[in-house]
Amino acid sequence: MQDAANKAWSGRFNEPVSELVKRYTASVTFDCRMAEVDIQGSLAHATMLNRVGVLSDDDFRAIQSGMADILDDIRNGVFDWSVDLEDVHMNIERRLTEKIGDAGKRLHTGRSRNDQVATDIRLYLRGGIDATLRQIAEVQTSLVLLAEQHADTVMPGFTHLQVAQPVTFGHHMLAYVEMLGRDSERFADARRRVNRLPLGAAALAGTTYPIDRRMTAELLGFDGVCENSLDAVSDRDFAIEFTAAAALTMTHLSRLSEELIIWMSPRFGFIDIADRFCTGSSIMPQKKNPDVPELVRGKTGRVNGHLVALLTLMKGQPLAYNKDNQEDKEPLFDTLDTLSDTLRIYADMMRGITVKPEAMERAVRQGFATATDLADYLVKRGLPFRDAHEAVALAVRYAEDKKKDLADLSLIELQSFSPLIENSVFDVLTPDGSLAARDHVGGTAPAQVRAQVARWKEKLAL
């Protein structure tokens, strides 16, 4: 039967697989993206088999030559992928056998598709993590450069989306640099667990051939081998861990997206986003919509969903490998793609931000942002904090009735709330005075923002 010729396992069955089942169970339409790492893993496996004497020199050279031709075909887009052959592994193996004969059939000695696919995913994800780390650094670079430009630009800091205290725009940008720094640490840490070799575990119990797994690991740049064959073929923790880290990174970018959207609205007018990241309206000619940040918010839900899907996929699986695990690739690949696209576009978009300092300073002066500074001023003159808090609250209520900022009240008006207030109070009631007073590590004083910028520029080698 033709079906028997196409399947690696057909000899056990009396009838061919139905066309619907072929389509339902095939993975080649999405796992073909792992073709290059599949070939990389196969060549390392063949090298090891040759060195331990399982594969002859002639067969080994034939495999090397045939794989080189196949790799060229794949890179040139002329490789003929077949759903009948189910997955990337069987497509490549079948083409290799067609090219070099029995030597191609010997390549699968000492391994199974179970440990082969686990190896491919780890190789592919390892490359994806390395790219992710570079892309995060690019976003951080854009944010650090923006922070450096605006180390002195005052803006309102918010809690509950209400004006709280003055900060600088540079300080605000650096908060996201710190978040992304933690994201990088998570990906780098996850990479250590990704970088373990499953190959040699075979289907689930290892193999009777005299293989050298540590040699294969060294050839492929793995830090070591998966120590238990059952765990090696069935583990997908590394995929879940990557997706969890990606979900956190997307969540951080979604938070920044929300702020960009708010800040760009005319009610705030703090920033403008370059036209190339926005769209208009089909009916309202005045509109400039922040579509990219909005889509980042939406795509964050998509990545979060992939994390839940992978957790759900694994929660009921007994050892060892189960066909369920074919469902690991699409959410993992889409997470990689979505995160990569988001980081790339964010690195560019943040360099296209126009900051509007005047609007930010007006907002600072509308929300009694220096009220805490007035309370601190009174505490430093001996008033208990709770009493100072009450006195300033009364002063805010008075200023609000007068439609004035605290800094606009006269000394006599301020002294009506506490006789401890002197003329020096006006040094702390201005936004600049408030900023300058927070001159400690992690504070929002412009000098500290510049120090943070310098620290990040050194870490990012800028």
Residues 127 and 206 both lie in one domain: yes
Residues 271 and 177 both lie in one domain: yes
As given in the structure block, the two tokens for residue 108 are 């699968």
Domain, as residue range, for 60: 2-109
Residues 191 and 72 both lie in one domain: no
Does 432 fall in a domain?
A: yes
Q: Please, where are the H alpha helices in 110-168?
A: 113-149
Q: What is the CATH number of the domain that holds 320?
A: 1.20.200.10
State the pLDDT at residue 7.
Answer: 56
pLDDT tens for the chain, 462 residues long, are 344 445 555 556 667 778 888 888 889 999 999 999 999 999 999 999 999 999 999 999 999 999 999 999 999 999 999 999 999 999 999 999 999 999 999 999 999 999 999 999 999 999 999 999 999 999 999 999 999 999 999 999 999 999 999 999 999 999 999 999 999 999 999 999 999 999 999 999 999 999 999 999 999 999 999 999 999 999 999 999 999 999 999 999 999 999 999 999 999 999 999 999 999 888 988 889 999 999 999 999 999 999 999 999 999 999 999 999 999 999 999 999 999 999 999 999 999 999 999 999 999 988 899 999 999 999 999 999 999 999 999 999 999 999 998 999 999 999 999 999 999 999 999 999 999 999 999 999 999 999 999 999 999 999
Nearest to 258 by CA among 297, 308, 232: 297
Residues 137 and 252 both lie in one domain: yes
Does 140 fall in a domain?
A: yes
Does 420 fall in a domain?
A: yes
Does 161 fall in a domain?
A: no
Peptide bond into 320 cis (omega under 30): yes
Q: Mind telling me the catalytic residues?
A: 160, 281
Does 455 fall in a domain?
A: yes
Residues 137 and 261 both lie in one domain: yes
Question: Is residue 350 within 8 Å of residue 259, measured between CB atoms?
Answer: no
Does 162 fall in a domain?
A: no
Considering 334, 361, 388, which residue would you say is the last residue of a domain? 361
Query: How many domains does the chain fold into?
Result: 3
Residues 209 and 346 both lie in one domain: yes
Residues 298 and 245 both lie in one domain: yes
Quote the strand ranges of 244-316, DSSP E: 271-273
Residues 120 and 104 both lie in one domain: no
As given in the structure block, the two tokens for residue 178 are 């710190």
Considering 361, 382, 412, which residue would you say is the last residue of a domain? 361
Query: Would you call 18 exposed, middle or buried from its count of C-beta atoms within 10 A (0-12, 13-18, 19+)?
Result: exposed
pTM higher than 0.95 for the full model? no
- Count CA atoms closer than 13 A to 422's CA, side-chain side: 5
Nearest to 236 by CA among 290, 190, 303: 190
Q: What is the CATH number of the domain that holds 445?
A: 1.10.40.30
Measured distance CA(371)–CA(452) in Å, rounded: 26
Measured distance CA(427)–CA(109) in Å, rounded: 80
Does 321 fall in a domain?
A: yes
* Long-range contact set of residues 306-312: C-beta below 8 Å, sequence gap at least 24: 306/243, 306/247, 306/331, 306/332, 306/334, 306/335, 307/240, 307/243, 307/244, 307/246, 307/247, 307/335, 310/236, 310/239, 310/240, 310/243, 311/240
Residues 23 and 86 both lie in one domain: yes
Residues 307 and 442 both lie in one domain: no
Question: Is residue 181 within 8 Å of residue 213, measured between CB atoms?
Answer: no
Considering 312, 342, 361, which residue would you say is the last residue of a domain? 361
Question: Pairing between strand 196-197 and 224-225?
Answer: parallel
Residues 179 and 328 both lie in one domain: yes
Measured distance CA(153)–CA(155) in Å, rounded: 7
Q: Please write down the HEC assignment for all residues of 89-105.
A: HHHHHHHHHHHHCHHHH
Task: Report the alpha-carbon angle 36-38-43, nearest 5.
Answer: 95
Residues 229 and 352 both lie in one domain: yes
Measured distance CA(110)–CA(45) in Å, rounded: 9
State the pLDDT at residue 6.
Answer: 53
